[in-house]
Amino acid sequence: MNYRFVFLLSVIILNVIQKGCCSSWLNQEDKKATFSFSGNLKLDIKNDKENKLNDFENNKNVERLNEGVTKIMQKEKELIESNKHVKDVVDEVGIVIKKKYNINELPPSGLTKDEEEDVKEDSAFLSDDLEEAAENFSLSGEKKMEDHSEICYPDYSMPCPLHFFRTSTGCVPLRTYEGPCNKIQNKLIYLYDEQKASWAEICEVNWPCMPLECSYGRDYNSVCPINWIDIGKGLCRNIYKNEKCAGDINFSNMSFEEKKSMEKKCGIIWKCKSITYTTNFDDICPLHWENIGNYKCKAPQDYKGPCPNISNLKKYNTQEKKENIENVCLVNWPYSIKVNEYQRDYNVDCPIGWSMMENGFCRAPENYKKSLKCKEEVSFDDMNADQKHSYSLACNVDFPFKDKQDCKRNYSFACPLGWIPSKKINYCKAPLNYKSSICKNVSKFKNILDNQKNYYLKFCDIDWPCEGEIQNSMIYTQISVDHLEEHGKKKYTRGPVDSETGLII
C-alpha cells in the first residue's frame, strides 16, 4: 500500500517536471518565432559605431563649447588689460597736456570756499579730464548747415572741421571726435582744399556742408568752381563727367554774372569766400565773459567748458598764456574777421619781392628767412593756384592781387611793393631785376607825401601794396643784417658800393 502510494507520487512529480521543461522550451521557441532577422550580419557592429560616433560628436561639441568659453574669457581678460592700457595712455597724455598747457594751474576762482562750492555746482567743472569736460561742447559754435540740392559740398572755407573748436592757434579736438588725430591741429590753415580733403580722410573727420547761402558770399574770384581742377593758363577741368558742360573751360575772363550764369547752366557751384581771423588779446577776459573786477571773469550761462564759471586770470596776462587758456578752456578772445575779397594772381612768375632768374627759378629777397622746406630759390612752374596759395601760407610769401586798379593803396608801408628795407635807415632796396632809367635801386621814401608816391607809381614803375595784399610776408618790416652782409661779401667785390648798405649804387 505504502509502496503504491510512493510510486504514484513519484509519477505525478515526474509528469510535473516534464511539463514544466516542455513549457519552458516552447516558450523559448515562441520567442524565437517572433524575432525578425534583418539580414545584416554586422548590425550590432554598426550600432556600436553609431553610438561611438554620437559619443565622439558630443564630446567634440563639448570641447568646442569649452574652447569658445575659454576664448571669450581670454578676450574679456585681454579687453580688461587693453582698457587698462588705454586708460594708462590717456592718463599719460593727460599729464602731457596738463604740463604743456599748464592745466594744473588753471585760473582759480578767487572766491571763498563756500562761494567756490556754489560756483562749482553751476559750472560742472571737471579738472581731471579735459576730454570729458568738453562733452557738451561738441556742437557749440558750429553753424547749422543746409544741403545744397541734397548734395553735401564740404565747406573748406571754415577754419576747422566738425568736432573741432577753433582757437587763435589752431583747431582743438573735442570729446565727440573719435578719430586718430587727437592733437591740436595748427597747420590746417596752410592746407588748400585738396589737402584738407586728404587730411579729413586720414583723420576720419568731415568738414561742415556748404550752406545754401554763404555768410560772406561766394568766391567768384577763385580760379575754378568746386570739383574742377586748375590745369594752368586759366583752364579748369571737371574731375567728374559733366554732360552739360564737357571739356576744359576757361573761367578766368568771365565776370561774376557770367560765372553765376554758368552755375545754372552747368550745375556747378563756386566755394564760399574764405575769411581771416585776427585775435586781440588786450582784454582781460575771453569773448562773452564778464569782467567782474580784480581780474575775475564770469562765464556766460551757456558755457560748458572745463574751466570754472568764475575764473581769476591775473596770472594770464600775456598773449602766449592767453593762447594756452583758449586751448585748455575752449574759449576765444575777441577777434575781427576779414573777408578775403581780392583774387591773387597766381599766374605771375614769382611772389611779391622775389626775382626771376635765368634758370627759371625765383630768388627770394635778401632778408627772407629760409628753412628746410622754404628755400631761397624755388620753381613755381609746376604749381597750380591752390599749391601756390598753400606755399604762400607755409613759407610766408604773398602773391600780388590780380585786379589792383581800384584797390585802396596802403602807404603806411615804408617801402614800395617788392622792395625791402635797407640797412641804411629810411632807405629801401629794389628787387634784383628792377631796372629804371629814372629811379635808383636804393632810394629813400621816408616823409614822401602820397601824391609824390603817385609820381613814383607813374614814372618809376613801382607800386605800393593794396590794403590786405601783404598778409604773410614780413620782408617789408624786417631785415637780416648778417644775411645782407653775407651776400654782399660773396657777390660784390668790385664797383661802387654804398658804405652803409654794401650795395652797388
Q: How confident is the model at residue 59 (pLDDT cuts 50, 70, 90)?
A: low
- Name which residue leads in pLDDT, 375 or 482: 375
Other beta carbons within 10 Å of 297: 25
User: CB-based contacts of 373: which residues, under 8 Å, 6+ apart?
Assistant: 394, 395
AA letter at 445: F
User: What is the mean predicted confidence (pLDDT) over 313-326?
Assistant: 94
14-43 average pLDDT score: 39
**pLDDT tier at 89, thresholds 50, 70, 90:** very low
Alpha-carbon torsion angle 157, 162, 165, 167, nearest 10: -20
Higher pLDDT among residues 283 and 147, named by residue: 283
For residue 342, is pLDDT > 90? no
pLDDT value at 307 more than 60: yes
Which residues lie closer than 8 Å to 387 by C-beta, 6 or more apart?
Answer: 192
Q: Which of 108-112, 194-198, 230-234 has the lowest mean pLDDT?
A: 108-112
What mean pLDDT is predicted for residues 61-77? 57
User: What is the tens place of the pLDDT at every residue in 402-438?
Assistant: 877 767 777 777 788 888 888 888 888 888 888 888 8
Q: Are strands 355-356 and 335-339 parallel, antiparallel or unpaired?
A: unpaired
Q: What average pLDDT does the structure give for the chain?
A: 73
Instruction: Report the pLDDT averaged over residues 339-361.
Output: 87
Q: Is the pLDDT of residue 186 over 50?
A: yes
Binned at pLDDT 50, 70 and 90, residue 124 comes out as very low
By the 8 A CB rule, do 237 and 231 touch? yes
- pLDDT tens per residue, range 218-250: 988 888 899 998 887 778 999 888 888 888 998
Split at pLDDT 50, 70, 90, the class of 454 is low
SS3 assignment, position 15: helix
C-alpha cell at 428: 629801401
And the C-alpha cell for 173?
Answer: 579736438
Identify whether the C-beta of residue 159 lies closer than 8 Å to the C-beta of residue 171: yes
Binned at pLDDT 50, 70 and 90, residue 469 comes out as confident
Higher pLDDT residue, 170 or 493?
170
> Which helix (H) or strand (E) element contains residue 363?
strand 362-363
Q: What is the pTM of this model?
A: 0.52
